[in-house]
Structure 1
Amino acid sequence: MCNIREDIRNAQSHDPAARSAFETFVVASGLHAIWAYRWHHWLWTHHAKFPARVGAQVVRTLTGVEIHPGATIGRRFFIDHGMGVVIGETAEIGDDVMLYHGVTLGGRSLEVGKRHPTLGNGVVVGAGAKILGPLIIGENSAVGANAVVVRDVPANSIVVGIPGVARPKAGLVADPVVAAGDITWVDPAVFI
């Protein structure tokens, strides 16, 4: 139950439309997908792979968010708007990560083993971005809206474009409107 409270507080700190904890609990489809993923991931890791996959597909139908139960996701993960998000089986997501709608954490091959991205702690991924392959997005980096990332991104970087080009985040001024507590969330769309 403490994770649900933490998730609701986290969602409220990143979404100005979240007016109350109760409203967020009831209507935030990104949170519903994350909570269901946690249950499905537990099933997956306890050798109930088929029920985990079936449950994940039901949640995909209800929320528009597809999270493979084999993915590994940290704390305070938030999906804003949710629709069209796809997270592949071998994706790894750190703590305090935020995804906007239409993000794909996908593979580029049919090989068995690691084939999806790893996102470090504090990463923000803009709407429509595609991060493909077993690459690493370093901590506290931001991926711009509609970027296509196919190479590793160093920590504390902004990556934009097709194909994505990374540059240091140092020296960039974050919009104070998006500051939340001790963490400043930079909307990567402002760097396009």
Structure 2
Amino acid sequence: MPSSLRTVLATAREDVAAARRHDPAARSALEVALLYPGVHAVWAHRLAHRLWTVSPVLHPLGRAVSQLARFATGIEIHPGATIGPRLFIDHGMGVVIGETAVLGADVMLYHGSTLGGRSLSRGKRHPTLGDRVTVGAGAKILGDITIGDDASIGANAVVVKDVPATGVAIGVPAVVRIPTVAPRDRLPVEDPSELIEYMI
């Protein structure tokens, strides 16, 4: 088996394992591989991104793959976005990831979240997420900002400024809090909607 095919299969297995680790409803690897649109969107993106980075001549083909994936899954990932290993998109509908977004390893996105731009600049205009970042349902992270490792973005938060490592961003506009407990000692945030803070 060619090494490139081995790499593709290993990456696909990691993506399936990430989905099973994050979703208690996932009953088997086969179920995830066949029925999880978030996983399908990530796989399609990996192909589209490969086409996008090989040559500008292949940009239209990369865009075509990403548009087909958007139609099939309801998840829009620009082929120029750089996505690390084991991204898990839970539920997925309405997720948008812009062209210059960069995602580290083990990122988790919930439905309706947006990694968008705030300008018409042709340069870097989308966010950079570190490793193990969780983005809650409906959250918007906008502009060329950095979200540090192990940060959590609460449901429906609107984030337009950097969030440091281990930070928790909630509200509109987002307010950042730094937990006093180290990430390795915290319980995992299975439902970022718990991070909603109502202010009257």
When normalised by structure 2's length, the TM-score is: 0.89
* Counterpart position of 1:4: 12
Q: Secondary structure at the match of 2:169?
A: strand
* Percent identity of paired positions between Structure 1 and Structure 2: 57
In the alignment, structure 1 residue 124 sits paired with structure 2 residue 134: yes
Q: Does 1:21 align with 2:29?
A: yes
Deviations 1:72-108 (A, max 9, x none): 0001110000100000000000001000000000000
| Equivalent position amino acid for 2:193 in 1 | A
The answer on 1:190 being equivalent to 2:194 is yes
Q: CA deviation at 1:172?
A: 8.5
Provide the alpha-carbon RMSD of the alignment.
1.8
**1:40-119 equivalence runs, <5 A:** 40-47=48-55, 48-119=58-129
User: Contact 1:85–1:104 at 8 Å: present in 2 too?
Assistant: yes
Shift of 1:7: 1.0
> Considering only CA atoms, is the larger Rg found in Structure 1 or Structure 2?
2
Distance 1:172 1:188, change over 3 A: farther
How many residues are matched? 186
Q: Structure 2 CA distance, aligned partners of 1:185 and 1:38? A: 27
**1:11-45 CA deviation, whole Å, 9 max, x = no partner?**
00100111011111100000000000000000000
Partner SS for 1:2: helix
Mapped to 2, the partners of 1:81 and 1:186 lie a distance apart of: 13
Q: 1:124 to 1:2 in 2, by over 3 A?
A: same
- Alpha-carbon distance between aligned partners in 1 of 2:151 and 2:191, rounded to the nearest angstrom: 11
| Structure 1 position 186, deviation (Å) | 4.9
Structure 1: gaps spanning 5 or more residues: none
* Structure 2 portions without partners, runs of 5+: 1-8
Contact 1:141 1:169 in 2 (8 A): no
Q: Return the match for 2:46 from 18, 28, 38.
A: 38
Q: Distance in 2 between matches of 1:58 and 1:5?
A: 22
Provide runs of 4+ in structure 1 moved above 6 Å: none
- State the 1:169 CA deviation: 2.3
**CA apart distance, 1:5:** 1.1
1:58 and 1:110, CA in 2 relative to 1: closer, same or farther beyond 3 A? Answer: same
Q: Distance in 1 between matches of 2:41 and 2:166?
A: 28
In structure 2, what is the Cα distance between the partners aligned to 1:55 and 1:107?
Answer: 22
> Are 2:150 and 2:183, in contact at CA under 8 Å, matched by a contact in 1?
no
